[in-house]
Structure 1
Amino acid sequence: MLTKGDDFPLHQSAEPIAFSGTDRNFYDRYFFNGYASDGSVFFAAAMGFYPQLGIVDAAFCVLIDGVQHNLRASRRSAGERLDLAVGPISIRIDAPLEQLTLKILANDGPLSGELQFTGRHFPIEEPRFTRRNGTRLFMDYTRMTQNGHWSGWLAVGGQRIEAGADWAGTRDRSWGIRPVGAAEPQPPPEGNFHQFFWLWTPCNFSDRSLFFHSNDDGAGDAWNRRAVLADSNGGEHHFADPSFAAEWQPGTRRLQKLTADLDGSTRLTLTPAGPLFAMSGLGYTHPVWGHGFDHGGLEVAHDRLSEAERAWGNPLAMHVQALVTAELVDGDRRDVGIGVLEQLFVGPHAPTGLTGLMDPAA
């Protein structure tokens, strides 16, 4: 099966580009978020290719005036991986690793726009995420992350909003293996995972970006953790052994404050101070619009989540991103910026006091 990608020198095996190994869970994904510095607008977008499933899907979401508007689209891909459009949602790569454009065509829903992302620094390659469930490979993927600025516009219900000079955000690209599409009919003998602890904190400061993330097991041991400071001149400072402490909102599994000690003299404090975005808008854990689900030919849908529907307890709002105020103390230097605190906590986590499957923090 030949596709457009075969005319580019990108092959890494004797197979055409359309064939991505043998694992049905292989995926290749774009993610974006962006926000006004005052929190008045938050948006996010994603596009995922699932070559073995023959599916590509995308979503664009805007959170404004307390309401999260979600646009979703899915189609069959026929193995073509260079067609970066799914219905009204498309991505254009203007300068690889530097600049991309996200375009949302007017349709029968409330959202449209054209937004250009320009990176502040060279993308950061995160440590490879590899996790097994007994003998079965659960995750094995690579991700690159980049902070940047936004220009352009978006519209909600016909109200056009120009991106201000203060609009910032993050984009990532990830590819590899993680569960996608319909559930596998035969789980591993040990059963499926019932524990997943995930923190991700891309932060924008005046002249630097900071990234901290942690995947922990139930005992609190990190199986993937990293912190790095990046500057616009290409400099990167990696921290060997960061640690963190969590303060919970009472009666929930949502963070009231996160403090990360990066190396004894560098400390990051994140305090939620803006809108709370439900990642289900982009398909994460969504029962109908989950990643790689087959909707047949092109299917486009719209829905919305009110502030009440994004409250703790709704399964569609267990995986969230919170806009945060970020304070970085680095020796004698203190910076205050803005960022995002992504959080998904399922099952126990001994150091922070989480017990049970979804029991609220004490």
Structure 2
Amino acid sequence: MLTKGDDYPIHQTPEPIAYAGSDRNFYDRYFFNAYAPDGSAFVAVAFGVYPALNVADAHIAIVKDGKERCLHASRVLGMERMDIRVGPIAIDIVEPLQVLKVTVTGTEGIAGEITFEGRSFPIEEPRFVRRNGPRLFMDYTRLTQNVRASGWVEVDGERIAISGWVGTRDRSWGIRPVGAPDPQPTPGGMMAQFFWQWSPINFEDRSVFFHINADGDGKPWNTRAVILPDGAGPEGGHHTEAATMETELVPGTRHAKRGVLTIPMEQGAATVTIEPTGNTFLMRGIGYGGEWRHGALKGELAVAREDIDCANFDSNDMSNLHIQAISKATLSVPGQPDQHGIGVFEQLILGPYRPLAL
């Protein structure tokens, strides 16, 4: 059961806040993205606390004209989890589970104020639990919510108005590998294969969510699809674990050229056709890998800018495998007119995956 407290970074276990515990790899994270209606501009934010490592970090990335301009910040947590600020990047919880605001005080040419307002009550995804050999690799809970975004961002003196934008935010807490790797590897505990797709899509009056984690043979170990009308409450929408995604890869890469999501419904199957626009967000820009990986100890306070060419990059470089492709989408539901929308197609494929001949 989700409560208002779940929107604060004070969890201690992979379960809702009513329970307590500890683990070296425990984390508590915010994620936000938003994009222009035509997909021409995109912003993403991540903010995490790592209680056992006593570290907090925050990141913002702005994608426009083939460039990804990032601001990274990290500090010693000081064991105070209610201070949701790292250097110039801060989060305000205006209304738990409904309205949150990100503020970036001008630093290294980047600034902004963005308000994210939920289109419906957030969904609680199935709990993610996975072991590699004897090692607990992940064990966490995540809520996800499509949003309408407003405000502005500024990069090197160019102000981008955020008006009519939509996007997605999530909150996850639990156990994932964070910070520096353990000095002694565990035999049989190394991650040799990982398949992940996530596609939250915004349509005119509803949202569609889909995610899948699968093993190398394509068998899902965590998956869910949801069709959620605007204004839906905690028990609203259509939820199923029987949805499937057919993916066509860009030749020679592990990134999708196109995806077709099929969602079983009582009146017949709904389909969502997802077509990346060519604008790609590299997730390392907000700490998913790279020098500024989540939980890395950078000292009392460290802030740095990073600029990434996200139009021309080696798609097979390990650091570039994890992406969000800004995508146009078409929703077809039996007996209803088609709807056109926009969202992201997040992808990370490591190791073998037989359904795609990898």
Task: Provide the TM-score with structure 1 as the length reference.
Answer: 0.90
What SS class does the counterpart of residue 163 from structure 1 fall into? Answer: strand
1:42 equivalent in alignment to 2:45: no
**Residues 25 and 12 (structure 1 numbering): CA distance in 2 closer, same or farther, change over 3 Å?**
closer
Partner of 1:360: none
Partner of 1:131: 130
Question: 1:275 offset after TM fit, Å?
Answer: 1.1
- The answer to whether the 8 A contact 2:72-2:304 is kept is yes
Partner of 1:315: 318
Letter in 2 for 1:279: M
CA distance in 2, matches of 1:129, 1:176: 9
Runs of 4+ in 1 over 6 A off after TM superposition: 10-13
Question: 1:188 offset after TM fit, Å?
Answer: 2.3
Task: Provide the TM-score with structure 2 as the length reference.
Answer: 0.91
CA distance in 2, matches of 1:314, 1:71: 22
Partner of 2:148: 149
Q: Which structure 2 residues correspond to residues 330-341 of structure 1 after superposition, within 5 A?
A: 330-333=333-336, 334-341=338-345
Count how many residue pairs are aligned between Structure 1 and Structure 2: 340
Q: Deviations over 1:164-200 (max 9, x none)?
A: 22x1100000000010011012222214011000000
Letter in 2 for 1:218: G
Q: Deviations over 1:277-315 (max 9, x none)?
A: 0000011121x2111010111000101011355341333
Q: Deviations over 1:324-361 (max 9, x none)?
A: 1111111122211111000000011111211xxxxxxx
Partner of 2:175: 177
Question: 1:20 offset after TM fit, Å?
Answer: 6.2
- The answer to whether the 8 A contact 2:214-2:222 is kept is yes
Partner of 1:84: 84
Partner of 1:246: 247
CA distance in 2, matches of 1:309, 1:345: 20
Indicate which of 195, 206, 209 corresponds to 1:208: 206
1:279 equivalent in alignment to 2:283: yes
CA distance in 2, matches of 1:218, 1:155: 42
Question: 1:86 offset after TM fit, Å?
Answer: 0.3
Gaps of 5+ in 2: none
Question: 1:135 offset after TM fit, Å?
Answer: 2.1
**Residues 38 and 11 (structure 1 numbering): CA distance in 2 closer, same or farther, change over 3 Å?**
closer
Q: Deviations over 1:111-133 (max 9, x none)?
A: 10101011101001000000011
Question: 1:236 offset after TM fit, Å?
Answer: 1.2
CA distance in 1, matches of 2:263, 2:248: 17
What SS class does the counterpart of residue 285 from structure 2 fall into? Answer: helix
Partner of 2:59: 59
Cα RMSD between the aligned structures? 1.9
What SS class does the counterpart of residue 105 from structure 1 fall into? Answer: strand
CA distance in 2, matches of 1:347, 1:250: 17
What SS class does the counterpart of residue 252 from structure 1 fall into? Answer: coil
Letter in 2 for 1:150: A
- The answer to whether the 8 A contact 2:12-2:22 is kept is no
Question: 1:162 offset after TM fit, Å?
Answer: 1.3
What SS class does the counterpart of residue 310 from structure 1 fall into? Answer: coil
Identity between Structure 1 and Structure 2 (%): 49
CA distance in 2, matches of 1:220, 1:186: 31
Question: 1:274 offset after TM fit, Å?
Answer: 4.2
- The answer to whether the 8 A contact 2:281-2:310 is kept is no
What SS class does the counterpart of residue 200 from structure 2 fall into? Answer: strand
Q: Which structure 2 residues correspond to residues 230-241 of structure 1 after superposition, within 5 A?
A: 230-234=228-232, 235-241=236-242
- The answer to whether the 8 A contact 1:119-1:146 is kept is yes
Question: 1:262 offset after TM fit, Å?
Answer: 1.3
- The answer to whether the 8 A contact 2:134-2:189 is kept is no
CA distance in 1, matches of 2:269, 2:310: 38
CA distance in 2, matches of 1:297, 1:133: 33
What SS class does the counterpart of residue 349 from structure 2 fall into? Answer: strand
- The answer to whether the 8 A contact 1:196-1:346 is kept is yes
Letter in 1 for 2:258: K
Letter in 2 for 1:146: Q
1:119 equivalent in alignment to 2:118: yes
Letter in 1 for 2:318: P
CA distance in 1, matches of 2:178, 2:45: 18
Letter in 2 for 1:30: Y
CA distance in 2, matches of 1:240, 1:56: 34
Question: 1:83 offset after TM fit, Å?
Answer: 0.4
Q: Deviations over 1:190-239 (max 9, x none)?
A: 14011000000000000000000000000111000100111123121112
Q: Deviations over 1:90-140 (max 9, x none)?
A: 000000001011000012x12101010111010010000000112221100
CA distance in 1, matches of 2:347, 2:325: 8
Say which is worse superposed, 234-243 or 319-328, in terms of deviation: 234-243
Indicate which of 295, 300, 303 corresponds to 1:297: 300
- The answer to whether the 8 A contact 1:71-1:302 is kept is yes
CA distance in 1, matches of 2:347, 2:11: 36
Partner of 1:359: none
Letter in 2 for 1:101: K
